[in-house]
Amino acid sequence: MVRIRLARRGRKKLARFDVVVADARAPRDGRFIEKIGTYNPLTVPATIELNEEKAFEWLMKGAQPSDTVRAMLSYRGILLRKHLQVGVIKGAITQEEADRRLAEWKKAKEAKIQAKRDRVADTRKAQAEARKEAERKIREARAEALRKKAEAATESSEAAAPAEENAPQQEA
């Protein structure tokens, strides 16, 4: 049985994965038939780079994806493409209709992904601005405290100076 699954790469706590086609009996990071893509779960949203044609070919040949890879293939529309292609083979729909449906789905999905990227970027920008504003307030508070301390020091030195001038006169 042939499986489409992940093979771990990268170092500790910085995992990256290769999407590989392998015999089900082969070890996770061991021998594989073909590498068809990469997956990086540490980015937001996760980066999935797949050779969609190769993945589709292997699915049509009967390769079974693991649960994680199934979710990735679904996310990229490859399982929908297989579903539509099976419909074309059975005569339920035409190839043009299948291509049109897939194109519509991909367009909507890309808009959704771009919206998430924009939302994440806006959130990061807002957090950075909030941090800068908090730092500015702290800096102003420190400057005000230093100014008050300097004023208090000058007032106390001015108050001490006339007292010192009067002290020698009293002794005389």
List, for residues 26-85, the tens digit of each pLDDT value. Answer: 988 889 999 999 999 998 778 999 999 999 999 999 999 999 999 999 999 999 999 999
Does 119 score more than 80 pLDDT? yes
Residue ranges of domains in the chain: 1-65+73-81, 94-148
Residue 14 has pLDDT above 90, yes or no: yes
Q: Is the pLDDT of residue 162 over 80?
A: no
Percent of the chain at pLDDT exceeding 90: 76
> Looking at residue 96, what is its pLDDT?
94
Number of Cβ within 10 Å of residue 73's Cβ equals 24
Question: Per mean pLDDT, which range of 3-7, 139-143, 152-156, 168-172 is the poorest?
Answer: 168-172
What is the topology classification, in CATH, of domain 1-65+73-81?
Answer: S16 Ribosomal Protein; Chain: A; (3.30.1320)
Query: Which of helix, strand or coil describes residue 44?
Result: coil
User: Is residue 102 within 8 Å of residue 81, measured between CB atoms?
Assistant: yes
Which run of H or E residues covers position 115? Answer: helix 95-171
Note the maximum CA span of the chain: 122
pLDDT at 65: 96
What's the helix, strand, coil split of the chain in %, to 5? 65, 15, 20
- Range 16-29 average pLDDT: 92
Whole-angstrom CA distances from 147 to 134, 140, 144, 152, 153 are 20, 10, 5, 9, 10
pLDDT of residue 171: 56
Predicted pLDDT of residue 28: 86
Residue whose entry in the numeric block shows the structure tokens 């993945």: 55
How large is the average pLDDT for residues 7-17?
A: 93
